[in-house]
Structure 1
Amino acid sequence: MSGSVDAGGSLLPRLQRDQANARREQLKDRVLLLGMIISEVKNREIELRRDATDDDVIDVIRKGIKKRRESVELYGKAGRTDLLEKEQSEVTALEVYLPAQVDPEELRAAVRAAMQGGAVNIGAVMAKVMPQFKGRVEGGTINAIVREELARG
């Protein structure tokens, strides 16, 4: 998948095709998972009053992954390995729709550049770096690198 995103996007039709294929192959869990994501994208379109772009779809998928990772953590603490494995498999299934991850060194270089440009606290550095990597890196990952770099001084 390329880094450029066009209005209207190609990710939603891909999700819909994959759901139809899963339905034909009788993969009930996958049909339900993709149906849930497609539904959330449709709700987002209603909210935005326009068709979803690939960036919008990626945001929905990232939120879905984040929600499931939180569930994995909770189920792990509760000792519910059956539910933990189901949530983890959903995370893995959704990750295939995300763009390739950014090299951590590229991220670190952007953080250092922001700090050299005068950003001296987490909020200021995040404000400069986040737009450069929108939709390609989770905020938590950027935040961790910012904290490391600020600690180094």
Structure 2
Amino acid sequence: MIRDTIKAAQISAMKAGDKPRLAAVRLILAKLKDKDIELRTASAVPDDDVLVTDVLQKMAKQRRESITLYEQGGRQELADVEKAELAVIEEFLPQQMGEDDVKAAIAALIAETGAAGMKDMGRVVAALKAKHGTQLDMSKASGLVKAALSA
């Protein structure tokens, strides 16, 4: 389980005295705890690895956006902190699908769902997220779906 790997990384970072890595791992664990608390009242709780991957993907997306904004604002020292956190977060994410694999999966789902045009985009994106949600960045994937349906 990914959560166990993250907890082990926290312990090893403590033993090694790696404060920046420890801070990033603790941040991840805090977000996971927040999500766990949020889901206490939910009727259906997703699989733990799916939950952890979802939280990590959101955190990675936030870091990428922050890096871009800090670099545009000329705050390289803050961008470097965000990059270090992003590197730690990405260590725990499952291996992402390559662009060619994503395009092949999209083509298969378009054929499978019988999608004909842009009006079917939501159905294709939902099917793609259900099958491959943990293995791809949905923001990039939705652009690829749009391109495939408009072609």
Q: What's the TM-score, normalizing by structure 2? A: 0.85
What are the Cα deviations for residues 90-140 of structure 1, in whole angstroms up to 9, with x where unaligned? 111211111111132222122223333322223232122221111111111
2:126 is aligned to 127
The structure 2 residue matched to 1:28, chosen from 19, 22, 35, is: 19
Contact map agreement 1:12 1:54 (CA 8 A) in 2: yes
Q: What is the RMSD computed on CA atoms of the aligned residues?
A: 1.9
| Gap runs ≥5 in structure 1 | 1-9
1:37 is aligned to 28
Cα distance in 2 for residues equivalent to 1:73 and 1:88: 10
Cα distance in 1 for residues equivalent to 2:84 and 2:147: 31
Residues 148 and 94 of structure 1: is their aligned pair in 2 closer, same or farther, counting only changes over 3 Å?
same
Contact map agreement 2:94 2:135 (CA 8 A) in 1: yes
Contact map agreement 1:44 1:52 (CA 8 A) in 2: no
Contact map agreement 1:41 1:52 (CA 8 A) in 2: no
Offset, 1:11: 1.4
Contact map agreement 1:58 1:98 (CA 8 A) in 2: yes
Q: Taking every aligned residue pair, what percent have the same amino acid on both sides?
A: 29
Does the alignment pair 1:55 with 2:50?
A: yes
1:93 is aligned to 88
Cα distance in 1 for residues equivalent to 2:74 and 2:88: 23
Q: 1:41 is matched by which residue type in structure 2? A: L
**What is the total number of aligned residue pairs between the two structures?**
143
Q: 1:140 is matched by which residue type in structure 2? A: S
1:7 is aligned to none
Contact map agreement 1:45 1:52 (CA 8 A) in 2: no
1:143 is aligned to 142
Q: What's the TM-score, normalizing by structure 1? A: 0.84
Q: Which has the higher helix share?
A: 2
Consecutive aligned runs of 4 or more in structure 1 exceeding 6 Å deviation: none
